[in-house]
Copies of this chain bind each other. A is one copy, B any other.
Amino acid sequence: MQPLLALIGLFNNRFNATTHFPIKPDTLYQPNLYFLQLGGKRIRPALCLMGNELFNTINNDAYEVAAAIELFHNFTLIHDDIMDVAPLRRGMPTVPAKYGNNTAILSGDVMLVAAYEKINKIDTKYIHTILKIFNKTAQQVCEGQQLDMDFEKKKEVTLPDYLEMITLKTSVLLAASLQMGAVLGGASEANANLLYQFGINIGLAFQIQDDYLDAFGEPEKFGKKIGGDIIANKKTFLTIHALETANPQQKEKLEFLLTTTNDSQEKVEEVVQIFKECKVDEWANSLKQKYVAEAYKSLEAVAVLNNRKQALKDVAVYLLEREH
Interface residues in chain A, defined as those with a beta carbon under 8 Å from any beta carbon in chain B = 25, 27-28, 79, 82-83, 101-103, 105-106, 108-110, 112-114, 116-117, 119-120, 124, 127-128, 131-132, 135, 138-139, 142-143, 145-147, 149-150
A235 to chain B, nearest CB (A): 16
In the complex the two chains form, is B127's CB within 8 Å of A142's CB? no
Known: A142-B109, A142-B113. Is A120-B132 also a contact (CB below 8 A)? yes
Report yes or no: A27 in contact with B106, Cβ–Cβ below 8 A: no
A120-B132, A128-B124 as given contacts; A103 in contact with B28, CB under 8 Å: no
From A122, which residue of chain B is reached at the shortest CB distance?
A: B128
Q: How far is the CA of A143 from the CA of B113 in the complex (A)?
A: 12
Name which of A25, A109, A114 has the most chain B CB atoms within 10 A of its CB. Answer: A109
Decide if the interface of chain A is mainly helix, strand, loop or mixed.
Answer: helix
| Beta-carbon contact of A105 and B106 below 8 Å | no
- Shortest A209–chain B CB gap in Å is 26
B79 and A106: CB pair below 8 A? yes
Cβ A149 vs Cβ B113 within 8 A: no
Q: A149-B102, A149-B103 are in contact. Are A116 and B131 (CB under 8 A)?
A: yes
* Contact status A139-B112, CB under 8 Å: no
Q: Are A110 and B139 in contact (CB under 8 A)?
A: yes
Q: Closest CB-CB distance, A245 to chain B, in whole Å?
A: 27
Instruction: Identify which of A112, A116, A132 gathers the most chain B CB atoms within 10 Å of its CB.
Output: A116
Name 12 extra pairs, CB < 8 A, besides A109-B112, A110-B143, A120-B131.
A27-B147, A27-B150, A28-B142, A82-B105, A103-B149, A106-B146, A113-B135, A113-B139, A113-B142, A116-B116, A116-B135, A120-B132
Cβ–Cβ contact A138 & B150, under 8 A: no
